[in-house]
């Protein structure tokens, strides 16, 4: 019985840069490959695709794509690849682009075959157009559809939003979230955006100078103080919660390990899963529970650790099984005079739900 998942032991040496990783990644869900520019994110993805020839071994859901001298060329690997720039074929219409890969993958082209993916990405009105008549966001959606239509066994996405302006970015993120919910294949998603990691990823690989600084489930890695993520303005925690119920006064209760989080009324029905993100800058600390505050979410927590980040203190907390990060000023930290192990209260000013 082949083991599901991705095993990548890859080494690639350039004069000024070397990639050297040994990764075991889950066989489904979105794995974000995070790192700053030059950390080797794109090289890693290109090695998985066979666009670069690394030394080592690569297995994807039980199939060996590379092992020593055996090297499956890119066009024989059942993968989908979305480049940073859409890279559509400018001599073909949108439909021509979509069908290019389908035909070669031996799938019946035509409306029946493309309909679900075309609908998923909202590109039904664009099929007759030429790529140079599309906006950047439309092009990228077509590129994603083109990759998905070959029914790949893994989807590789190289910063698909990086070339888009913020408005286009927020226009395409909902489509990526739908992909995340509906795809049964693993997705490797290269990004340098903490926000995209928080919204889309289940699993995280952090690359630094061609090596994996961390690799693990998002809930464990995202809030780590020792990774570059902690340096980011968007540092915080990501929690997978469920809608526990709706109260008559316009409040929705979310169940998290160790308690509940209250948010303004949500459209989702009770029992639905939601992902919420609590930024470190939105969490403050108090030694006593204050009832005379407008802040609804006050959770008892224990200090686990702390780190200096850009002149402030990033505090790691355990709130009854839920990990939280709080960012406080050095002066507040000194005044509180807490140490790892101290029990206190985390006041959560706001929560982002995806």
Partner 1 sequence: MSDADLVALWLTMRLAGLTTLLLLLVGTPVAWWLARTRSRLKGPVGAVVALPLVLPPAVLGFYLLVLMGPDGPVGRATQALGLGLLPFTFAGLVVASVIYSLPFVVQPLQNAFEAIGERPLEAAATLRAGPWDRFFTVAVPLARPGFVTAAILGFAHTVGEFGVVLMIGGNIPGRTQVLSMAIYDHVEALEYGQAHWLAGGLLAFSFAVLAALYSLNPASRPGRRRA
Q: With the C-alpha atoms ordered 283, 285, 289, 293, is the resulting torsion angle positive or negative?
A: negative
Alpha-carbon distance values, 22 to 68, 182, 304 (Å): 15, 28, 29
Smallest gap from Cβ 89 to partner 1, in A, equals: 6
Smallest gap from Cβ 164 to partner 1, in A, equals: 14
Question: Of residues 12, 86, 214, 229, which one binds partner 1 by CB under 8 A?
Answer: 86
- The DSSP element (H or E) to which 18 belongs, if any, is strand 17-25
Q: With the C-alpha atoms ordered 330, 352, 257, 266, is the resulting torsion angle positive or negative?
A: positive
Partnered with residue 325 across adjacent β-strands are 316
* 53-56 contacts, C-beta under 8 A, 24 or more apart: 53/12, 54/10, 54/11, 54/12, 54/19, 55/10, 55/11, 55/12, 56/8, 56/9, 56/10, 56/11
Question: Of residues 83, 175, 189, 333, which one binds partner 1 by CB under 8 A?
Answer: 83
Backbone torsions φ then ψ of 269, nearest 5 degrees: -75, 160
CA atoms within 13 A on the CB side of 338: 26
Instruction: Return the residues of window 133-162 that contact partner 1 according to CB under 8 A.
Output: 134, 139, 146-147, 150
Stretch that binds partner 1, among 101-109, 182-190, 232-240, 245-253 (CB under 8 A): 101-109
**Closest CB to partner 1 among residues 148, 179:** 148
Smallest gap from Cβ 201 to partner 1, in A, equals: 22
Measured from the Cβ of residue 214, the count of other Cβ atoms closer than 10 Å reads: 18
**Closest CB to partner 1 among residues 87, 219:** 87
Q: Is 185 in the site for partner 1 (CB under 8 A)?
A: no
First to last CA, the chain: 36
Alpha-carbon distance values, 265 to 243, 276, 282, 348, 352 (Å): 11, 14, 20, 17, 13
In contact, 301 and 345? CB cutoff 8 Å: yes
Smallest gap from Cβ 150 to partner 1, in A, equals: 6
Stretch that binds partner 1, among 3-11, 130-138, 160-168, 339-347 (CB under 8 A): 130-138
Question: Of residues 80, 160, 186, 210, which one binds partner 1 by CB under 8 A?
Answer: 80
Smallest gap from Cβ 148 to partner 1, in A, equals: 11
**Closest CB to partner 1 among residues 139, 180:** 139
Put the strands of the sheet holding 6-14 in their side by side order: 17-25, 6-14, 55-60, 63-67, 70-71
Q: Is 87 in the site for partner 1 (CB under 8 A)?
A: yes
**Closest CB to partner 1 among residues 185, 299:** 185
Q: Is 91 in the site for partner 1 (CB under 8 A)?
A: yes
- The DSSP element (H or E) to which 279 belongs, if any, is strand 273-279
**Closest CB to partner 1 among residues 146, 275:** 146
Residue with tokens 């009105």: 125
Smallest gap from Cβ 302 to partner 1, in A, equals: 48
Contact letters (x/-) for partner 1, 275-314, by CB under 8 A?
A: ----------------------------------------
Question: Of residues 17, 89, 272, 305, which one binds partner 1 by CB under 8 A?
Answer: 89
Smallest gap from Cβ 41 to partner 1, in A, equals: 17
Instruction: Return the residues of window 47-76 that contact partner 1 according to CB under 8 A.
Output: 49-51, 73-76
Number of residues that bind partner 1 (CB under 8 A): 30
Q: Is 131 in the site for partner 1 (CB under 8 A)?
A: yes
In contact, 19 and 44? CB cutoff 8 Å: yes
Contact residues toward partner 1 (CB under 8 A) are: 49-51, 73-76, 79-81, 83, 85-91, 100-101, 104-105, 130-132, 134, 139, 146-147, 150
């Amino acid at each position: 019985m082949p083991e599901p998942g991705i095993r990548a032991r890859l080494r690639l040496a350039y004069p000024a840069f070397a990639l050297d990783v040994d990764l075991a990644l889950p066989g489904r869900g979105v794995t974000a490959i995070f790192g700053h520019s030059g950390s080797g994110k794109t090289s890693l993805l290109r090695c998985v695709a066979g666009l670069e020839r690394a030394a080592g071994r690569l297995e994807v859901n039980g199939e060996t794509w590379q092992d020593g001298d055996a090297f499956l060329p890119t066009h024989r690997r059942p993968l989908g690849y979305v480049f940073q720039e859409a890279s559509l074929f400018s001599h073909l219409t949108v439909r021509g682009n979509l069908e290019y890969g389908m035909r070669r993958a031996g799938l019946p082209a035509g409306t029946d075959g493309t309909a679900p993916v075309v609908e998923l990405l909202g590109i039904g009105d664009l099929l007759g157009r030429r790529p140079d008549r599309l906006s950047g966001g439309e092009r990228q959606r077509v590129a994603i559809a083109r990759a998905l239509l070959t029914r790949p066994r893994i989807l590789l996405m190289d910063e698909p939003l990086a070339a888009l302006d913020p408005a286009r970015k927020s226009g395409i993120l909902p489509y990526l979230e739908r992909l995340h919910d509906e795809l049964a294949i693993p997705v490797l998603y290269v990004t340098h955006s903490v926000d995209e990691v928080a919204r889309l990823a289940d699993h995280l690989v952090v690359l630094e100078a061609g090596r994996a600084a961390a690799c693990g489930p998002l809930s464990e890695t995202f809030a780590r103080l020792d990774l570059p993520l902690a340096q980011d303005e968007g540092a915080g925690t990501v929690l997978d919660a469920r809608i526990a119920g709706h109260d008559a006064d316009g409040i929705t209760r979310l169940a998290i390990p160790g308690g509940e989080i209250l948010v303004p009324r949500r459209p989702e029905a009770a029992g639905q899963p939601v992902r919420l993100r609590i930024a470190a800058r939105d969490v403050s600390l108090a030694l006593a529970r204050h009832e005379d505050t407008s802040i609804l979410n006050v959770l008892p927590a224990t200090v686990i650790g702390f780190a200096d980040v850009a002149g402030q203190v990033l505090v790691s907390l355990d709130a009854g099984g839920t990990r939280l990060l709080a960012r406080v000023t050095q002066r507040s930290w000194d005044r509180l005079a807490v140490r790892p192990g101290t029990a206190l209260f985390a006041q959560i000013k706001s929560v982002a739900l995806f």
